[in-house]
Structure 1
Amino acid sequence: MIKTLLILNVALAATLSSVTASAADPAAGKIRYEATCMACHGAKGISIAPIYPNVAGQKDQYLTAQIKAFRDGTRKNDIMQPMAQGLTDSDIANIAAFLSTLKPE
């Protein structure tokens, strides 16, 4: 019984993980990134100044967590908080999906 429940939980987690990953739209993320993020983080995710991090090639789950933390105020940054405030969960997932496709230079 416990073994069956464990197998079902693993299968459910894998299914939910793949649904979440496939729900993001990198093309929509590129459009939102260009409107919101590109001025500081660069057209290809390589920042224009040492104060801003490179975001190209970062893992989408990491980016999603960090952007949400800025938006929700659990991670403090005077520059990022206002930038993230207007982003929906969908916007964030799409931006993260786009950035994860870029190759760091």
Structure 2
Amino acid sequence: MCRTCHGIDGVAWIPIAPHIAGESSVYLQTQLKAFRSGKRQHEIMSVIAKQLSDEDIANLAAWYSSIEFSVEVPE
């Protein structure tokens, strides 16, 4: 379900979704748990996060944080 907006490789397919490849595991887990608890609100992410267990969140965070992501700045 994440790949629909964020892409399987963590590079977002749509402009309103952030890239999450290479993001810190702690950050990703914190944000997903905030969506799940209702502390952070988003019409799509809140619904999706409520379906995730702690193990799911840890696995997703580990996967996306392990992806190397770099941006090249044109000269």
Structure 1 and Structure 2 fold alike (TM over 0.5): yes
Structure 2 unaligned residues grouped into runs of 5+: 71-75
Q: Which residue of structure 2 aligns with residue 50 of structure 1?
A: 15
Distance in 1, matches of 2:8 and 2:54, equals: 22
Distance in 2, matches of 1:73 and 1:95, equals: 19
Q: Which residue of structure 1 aligns with residue 73 of structure 2?
A: none
Q: Which residue of structure 2 aligns with residue 61 of structure 1?
A: 26
Alpha-carbon distance, 1:88 to partner: 0.3
Distance in 2, matches of 1:69 and 1:58, equals: 16
State the TM-score, normalized to the length of structure 1.
0.64
Alpha-carbon distance, 1:92 to partner: 0.2
State the TM-score, normalized to the length of structure 2.
0.89
| CA displacement, residues 36-87 of structure 1 (integer Å, 9 cap, x when unaligned) | 2111101200000110000000000010000000011000111100111110
- Give 3-state SS (helix, strand or coil) of 1:58's partner: coil
Alpha-carbon distance, 1:104 to partner: 1.6
Distance in 1, matches of 2:50 and 2:69, equals: 26
- Give 3-state SS (helix, strand or coil) of 2:8's partner: coil
Structure 1 unaligned residues grouped into runs of 5+: 1-35
The percentage of aligned residue pairs carrying the same residue is: 44
Higher relative contact order (CA 8 A, sep 6+): 1
1:103 to 49, 68, 71: 68
The CA RMSD over aligned residues, in Å, is 0.8
Dislocated runs of 4+, deviation >6 Å: none
Structure whose residues are more often helix by fraction: 1
